[in-house]
Amino acid sequence: MNETVADAVFGVLLSAARRIPELDACVKQGNWDAMIGEELFGNDVHGKVIGIIGMGGVGKAIATRAKFGFGMDILYHNRSRDEEIESIYDAQYCSFQDLLKRSDFVCNMVPLSEETKNMYGAAEFKLMKKNAFFVNGSRGAVVDEDALVEALRNKEIAGAGLDVYKQEPVDINHPLLKFPNVVTTPHIGSATVETRFKMGMLAADSVLTVLRGESPTNALN
């Protein structure tokens, strides 16, 4: 599942940076000439700096794509430093604030907890570069969405890619859905035919394991 979610997160990142949804709409609406002007130029991804907050399984899979697929420099922030990660990806461990200041793409992959709730607020978005993109592929409640709206409205950041929201389904009238530089998907990180089949089989195997009187893998408690 980690690889599948990483595909989706990186897809949202690419879509936001290269403005793919906007350009797709131009083609389908017959506005081909509108794409010639600089107002619809995107941003390069290759060779840029990606900051990953939360270097679990998905975070590492994103780092693999960024480093070896796009030649990106990797910054990361985690609960603890991991020298193996630094060796594999030539990654640099840094503070949360330093990562926000230096990254061209800020990719959030931390789980939701009391500690991480609203960890991205007005102060955090102000630290980011004005040409940086914020990508959230973990949980919506780690972001103060009002602060994100203001950061986008005031052009404190270049755009965002979101697969998760505080309230799901997200309200159709939510301000985040009104920005052309915000790419949104409906919490579908693991939603591929292959991965959902594997998840179903894992659930079935767990039921059979319990019926045999054994302890299942991936138990919640």
Of 102, 124, 139, 156, the active-site residue reads: 139
What is the value of pTM for the model shown?
Answer: 0.91
State yes or no: is 38 an active-site residue: no
Instruction: State the distance between the two ends of the chain, measured CA to CA, in whole angstroms.
Output: 20
Higher-pLDDT residue of 4 and 207 is 4
pLDDT at residue number 204: 80
State yes or no: is 187 an active-site residue: yes
Q: Over the stretch 76-100, which tens digit does the pLDDT of each residue have?
A: 999 999 999 999 999 999 999 999 9
CATH architecture under which domain 2-211 falls: 3-Layer(aba) Sandwich (3.40)
Q: For residue 144, give the DSSP letter.
A: -
Of 81, 153, 168, 214, the active-site residue reads: 168
Q: Over the stretch 28-69, which tens digit does the pLDDT of each residue have?
A: 999 888 777 788 899 999 999 999 999 999 999 999 999 999
State yes or no: is 139 an active-site residue: yes
pLDDT at residue number 59: 97
Q: Hey, how many other C-beta atoms are within 10 angstroms of the C-beta on 49?
A: 18
Of 19, 65, 77, 187, the active-site residue reads: 187
Q: CA angle at residue 38 from 37 to 39, to 5 degrees?
A: 90
For the chain, the domains span 2-211
Of 10-14, 17-21, 115-119, 193-197, which range is least confident?
193-197
pLDDT at residue number 188: 86
